[in-house]
């Protein structure tokens, strides 16, 4: 496995965590981003702008064994999503074709936002993906582009990523965040390290000859009502004040299952919000 190489396109937070995990496994790792000086040590930088159709001069001369596309939208509107996920992926695929390169597999990092279910029902990879907003619609289009690329592709639909630097909920709870208890508003999450860990697991599984499905959901073991999470965080952090206004999440309520990934042998390091947020608050994650 030491001879395997991976190019991580959009090597930001999750991508950099993935890069570090693959370096530990003795993989050759390249990372594509605008500012390559922010890449982890040991990662070969590929300085490029995904919005530019021209193949970057630093594109690897040898075909990477694996390609992970985990770009993030810098502009949170339909145009920004389309640029990051659809147009950016089209550019990368054209650069591969231009160089005559064909990776063994493409991992495309997507979002559980493609699911529009709102009744608290359980969701898995076979559930209907019928998004009702631009973000899910554009993401689903990008998924289909990856699957039709001619490269064996696997979609990884991540749920709400949290971790160091992704602490919006913690700041809200400190301000007395109050949420609706009934009906329960289920939230799904995955620690950033586990998001990277799932991608690393899939790469290594494919390299070892295991058959991968076309789609996996990246989520921890315990989707939970948001009110329950807030109550636990309040107690853990010693917050006693409440804000006057009750807030309701705008997105739907659903519970995502990680059974397919677990059946392949993956397990999250942080199985629920309790372990994950405790590690963040104690400076361990």
Burial of 98 (0-12, 13-18, 19+ CB in 10 A): exposed
CATH code: domain of residue 26: 3.40.50.720
Tell me, yes or no, whether 179 lies in a domain.
Answer: no
The pLDDT of 234-262, averaged and rounded, is 84
Tell me, yes or no, whether 227 lies in a domain.
Answer: no
Query: What is the pLDDT at residue 1?
Result: 44
pTM (global) more than 0.85: yes
Tell me, yes or no, whether 35 lies in a domain.
Answer: yes
Query: What is the pLDDT at residue 249?
Result: 55
Nearest to 253 by CA among 181, 152, 147, 191: 181
Asked whether residue 167 carries a pLDDT value surpassing 90, the answer given is: no
The pLDDT of 180-185, averaged and rounded, is 84
Q: Supply 52's token pair.
A: 């530019």
Q: Is the dihedral of CA 142, 147, 148, 153 positive or negative?
A: positive
Contact 192, 17 (CB under 8 A): yes
Q: Supply 277's token pair.
A: 């947020």
Tell me, yes or no, whether 176 lies in a domain.
Answer: no
Domain count, the chain: 1
Say which range, 18-22, 119-123, 251-255, has the weakest mean pLDDT.
Answer: 251-255
* pLDDT, tens only, 54-93: 999 999 999 999 999 999 988 889 999 999 999 999 999 9
Asked whether residue 182 carries a pLDDT value surpassing 90, the answer given is: no
Tell me, yes or no, whether 147 lies in a domain.
Answer: yes
Asked whether residue 129 carries a pLDDT value surpassing 80, the answer given is: yes
Domain that holds residue 144: 5-164+190-219+255-269
Tell me, yes or no, whether 215 lies in a domain.
Answer: yes
């Amino acid at each position: 496995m030491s001879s395997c190489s991976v190019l991580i396109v959009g090597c930001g937070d999750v991508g950099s965590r993935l890069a570090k995990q693959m370096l530990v496994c003795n993989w050759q790792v390249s990372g594509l981003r605008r500012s390559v000086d922010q890449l982890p040590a040991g990662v070969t930088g590929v300085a490029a702008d995904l919005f530019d159709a021209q193949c970057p001069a630093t594109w690897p001369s040898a075909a990477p064994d694996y390609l992970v596309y985990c770009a993030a939208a810098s502009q949170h509107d339909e145009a920004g999503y389309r640029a990051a996920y659809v147009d950016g992926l089209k550019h990368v695929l054209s650069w591969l074709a231009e160089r005559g390169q064909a990776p063994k597999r493409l991992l495309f990092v997507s979002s559980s936002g493609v699911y529009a279910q709102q009744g608290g029902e359980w969701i898995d990879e076979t559930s209907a993906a019928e998004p009702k907003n631009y973000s899910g619609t554009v993401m689903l289009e990008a998924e289909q582009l990856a699957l039709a690329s001619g490269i064996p592709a696997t979609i990884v639909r991540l749920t709400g990523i949290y971790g160091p630097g992704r602490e919006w909920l913690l700041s809200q709870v400190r301000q007395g965040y109050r949420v609706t208890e009934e009906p329960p508003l289920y939230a799904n999450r995955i620690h950033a390290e586990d998001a990277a860990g799932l991608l690393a697991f899939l790469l290594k599984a494919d390299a070892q000859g295991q058959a991968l499905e076309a789609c996996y959901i990246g989520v921890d073991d315990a989707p939970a009502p948001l009110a329950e999470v807030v109550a636990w965080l309040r107690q853990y952090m010693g917050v006693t004040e409440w804000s006057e206004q009750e807030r309701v999440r705008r997105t739907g309520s659903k519970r995502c299952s990680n059974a397919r990934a677990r059946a392949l042998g993956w397990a999250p390091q942080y199985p629920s919000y309790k372990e994950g947020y405790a590690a963040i608050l104690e400076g361990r994650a």
